[in-house]
Amino acid sequence: MKVTLAYISFLACVLCANAYTQEAILSVNESYGIPGSSNNPVEIELSNPISIAGVQFTLKFDGNLLNIDSIYATPRASFMNLGYNIWPDSVKVIIYSITGDSILLGGGPIVGVLFDVSEGAIPGDSTLLHLKDCVLSDPSAHSIPCTALDGWFCFVVTPTSPILLSPEDDSFLSDSIFAFIWSAVDGASRYWLQIDDDSSFLSPIINDSTLTDSIYTPVTGLPNMSYYWRVRAGNRFEWSNWSSVWHFEIDTQSPTAPALVSPPDSGWLNDTTITFEWSEVAKGVDMKKGRHGERENISDLRVLRGQNPKSSGSKASPIHYILQVDTTSEFNTPIADTISVTYDTLNLDEYLYYWRVKAYDEAGNDGSFSQAFWFVVDTTSPVIDSTTQLVDTVAFFGPFVVNTKIADNFALKGGLLEYRVNNSPWIADSLSPIGSDWYTAEIVEQEPCDTMVIVYNILASDYADNISRDPEEGNYSFTILLTGIQETRDIPDKFVLFSPKPNPSVGIIEIQYGLPEKTNISLRIYDIQGRLVKSIFSGSKDAGYYRLRINSKDLSSGIYFLRFEAEGYNTTRKLLILR
C-alpha cells in the first residue's frame, strides 16, 4: 500500500521523542524452501521490553532467487495497520495504529512474508535476508532503541524416506547387540530411529531423533523378544515420512540336542533304504506377544521387569536339523543332510554306520550333536554249506550227528537243526559252534520200531533277520530200516536167543535171535518185580537170524530180564543196566 499522511505524522513524532535506554530486537527467523516452490514463509520476530505502537523496517533479499508472493500480519499484530512497498530485491514494511493500540511487551513474530523460490536455486545453498532501516516507537511516539538481526533462507530438498537394510524384515538374530542400518538419504542431515515391541510405536524402546549417520548400534543388548523398527530422514527444517516397518526377533539360546529314535543304537537292518527318526526340539513361548508389564530404563534402553519371557531351552525361531551318517564314529567324511522335519531317508550300502543329529535355528544358534548311534545294513543271508547228509542205516537208532558250515557277512545270530520222524511234529535243536564257521547238532536216539523215515534241514539267521535254509527247498532224509532188525540168510534148526551184549550195559544193547520157521514172536523187558518196562517187538517174522540194537537210556540202574516168546517156545536172559 502507499505511505499515508498518518505514517508521516508517526515518523515526525518519533523524531521528536526522547529515546529509551531499553533495547528491542527485530530479527528474521531462518527459513527454507524447495527450488521452484511457492508460499514459503519467512517471519519477522519482535522481542520488545515495552509496548510498541509502530514498527518500520526494510527487508533486503536476492531478487534472482526469491520473489515476494504476499505479506501478512501475524496474530500478535493482526489488530494493527499493515503497510508495505515491494521492490524486486526488497520490501519496506510499516505497522502502526491510529487508535492508540500497541503490540504488548514480549516476543514473537509480527509479520510474515511468503516467498516463491526460483527454479535456479541450488539445494544446499542459502541466501541472506538483511534487515535495515529499523524504527520502533511506543504509544507516546517515543523512539525505542532497536537491534536488527539478519536471517538466512536455505534452499533444500525434502528428504525421502530411508530404505531399511538390516536387520532384515522377519529375520531372527542370535546376538543381542547388533547394528541397525538403513540407506543414506540425499539432503538429510539427521535421522530418527524408533524401535518397539508393538508395530504402533506408542511407547518406543528406542526413540532417538538425534542420529547423524545411517547406522546405529545400541549400547545395551536387547532382550530376547519380538521387535519392530522404522526410520525417517530430516534436514534442519523438516522430516520425511517414516520408512516401512520391519519386524525381527532376537533369540540368543541354542537348541537342545535331539534324542535319536530310529534306527536304534546297535540296530541291524536288512534294507538299504533307511529312515532316520529323532525327537523334535521343543519350541518355547510365543515371542511375538511382546513385553508384559512396565518398562525400565537401562542406559538408553527399556527392557522388561522381571524374567525374560523366553524360558530356558525354549526356541522362538524356526528349527532345522543336520543329519550326519558315517562309517566311523569320528564323522570325518560324513554323509550330511539338512532338513526341517524330524525324519529323513537315505539309501546306503551294506556296512557298519554311525549316525547323529543336531539342531540349529534361523537365528544362527547352533545346538550340540546328539550322542552317536551305530547300526549295520546287512541284506545278505547267511551261506550254509557242507551239511552232513545222513545215509540209510540198519539197526542203529541214533544219536545222529549233523555238522554244517555257515558263513555270514557280519555276524551269525543263530542256527537250528530241524527234524521229524515219520511225519511227527518238528523238533528243533540249536546249532553249537565247533570252530572255523562250523556248527553241530544231533538227532536224538529214536525208540526202535518199524521202518522210520527221518527228514531234516538247517536254518540260519543273522542279526538283521536274514534267514537261510539248507536245502533251499525240501529236506534231507534217511531211513532206519525195519526198526533196526537185520535178517541173515542162514536158518537155524531151532529157536535161539543169544545173551544181550554188552552185559552189563550203559547205553546201546545188541540183541540177536534165530527162528527155524515163520512165526509170531515178541521181545519184552521186565524188571526184577516182573513188571513190563519195555516192549521191543511184537509181530510176525520169517525164518532166519536177526540182530537189533536198542537204547537203554530210559532204564534206570538195576537187574532186568529179556523175555523172548514164539509159538511153542519161550526163554529169558538176565540183563544188568549200569548208570
| Residues of the chain above pLDDT 70, percent | 88
Rounded Cα gap, residues 241 and 254, in angstroms: 39
Residues listed for the chain? 579
Q: What is the pLDDT of residue 549?
A: 78
What is the rounded distance in angstroms from the CA atom of residue 117 to the CA atom of residue 129?
14
Q: What gap in Å lies between CA 8 and CA 2, rounded to an integer?
A: 12
What integer is the mean pLDDT of 429-437?
90
| 292 in Cβ contact with 304 (< 8 Å) | yes
Residue 305: per-residue pLDDT: 28
CA–CA dist 86, 59 (Å, integer): 10
Mean pLDDT of 24-32: 95
Interacting residues of 420 by C-beta distance below 8 A, sequence separation 6+? 426, 427, 454, 455, 456
CB 72 within 8 A of CB 115: no
Q: What is the pLDDT of residue 298?
A: 31
CA distances from 369 to 284, 333, 355, 551 (A): 20, 16, 10, 65
Q: Would the pLDDT of 31 be above 90?
A: yes
**Domains, in order of start, for the chain:** 5-155 (2.60.40.680), 164-250 (2.60.40.10), 260-377 (2.60.40.10), 383-483 (2.60.40.10), 485-577 (2.60.40.1930)
pLDDT value of residue 10:
45
The model's confidence at residue 512, banded by pLDDT at 50, 70 and 90, is: confident
As a whole number of angstroms, the distance between CA 286 and CA 297 comes to 24
Parallel, antiparallel, or unpaired: how do β-strands 146-149 and 24-28 relate? parallel
pLDDT of residue 371: 96
One-character DSSP codes across 21-46: SS-EEEEEPPEEE-TT---EEEEEEE
Mean pLDDT of 98-124: 93
Whether 15 shows a pLDDT value over 60: the answer reads no
pLDDT, position 140: 87
Predicted confidence at residue 5, as pLDDT, reads: 38
With 50 as the cut, is the pLDDT of residue 538 above it? yes
481 has pLDDT over 80: no
Q: Is the pLDDT of residue 439 over 90?
A: yes
Residue 412 CB coordination number (10 Å): 19
**Which triple of cell numbers denotes residue 54?**
509502530
Q: Is 340 exposed, middle or buried (0-12, 13-18, 19+ CB in 10 A)?
A: exposed
Mean pLDDT, to the nearest integer, of 37-61?
95
* Residue 193 bridge partners (DSSP): 208, 231
- Rounded Cα gap, residues 372 and 330, in angstroms: 10
**CA distance linking residue 58 with residue 320, whole number of Å:** 75
> pLDDT tens digit string along 291-344?
433 333 333 333 332 333 333 333 468 899 999 999 999 999 999 999 999 999
What pLDDT does residue 229 have? 97
For residue 9, the model assigns a pLDDT of 43
pLDDT-derived band at 480, boundaries 50, 70, 90: confident
CA 255 to CA 253: how far, in whole Å? Answer: 7
Q: What is the mean pLDDT of residues 348-370?
A: 94
- What is the side-by-side strand order in the sheet with 180-182? 164-166, 180-182, 215-216
> What per-residue confidence (pLDDT) applies to 316?
63
pLDDT digits (tens, 9 = 90+) for 548-571: 878 887 889 999 999 999 988 999
**Cell, residue 220:** 545395551
Dist CA 82 CA 111 (whole Å)? 9
The two most distant CA atoms of the chain are separated, in Å, by 190
Mean pLDDT along residues 42-57? 95
Output phi, psi for 514, to 5 deg. Answer: -135, 145
Q: What is the pLDDT of residue 69?
A: 95
Model confidence over 486-505: pLDDT tens digits? 444 578 889 988 888 888 88
Q: Which of 337, 468, 497 is nearest to 406 (CA)?
A: 468
* pLDDT tens, position by position, 183-214: 999 889 999 999 999 999 999 999 999 999 99
**What is the reported pLDDT for 357?**
97
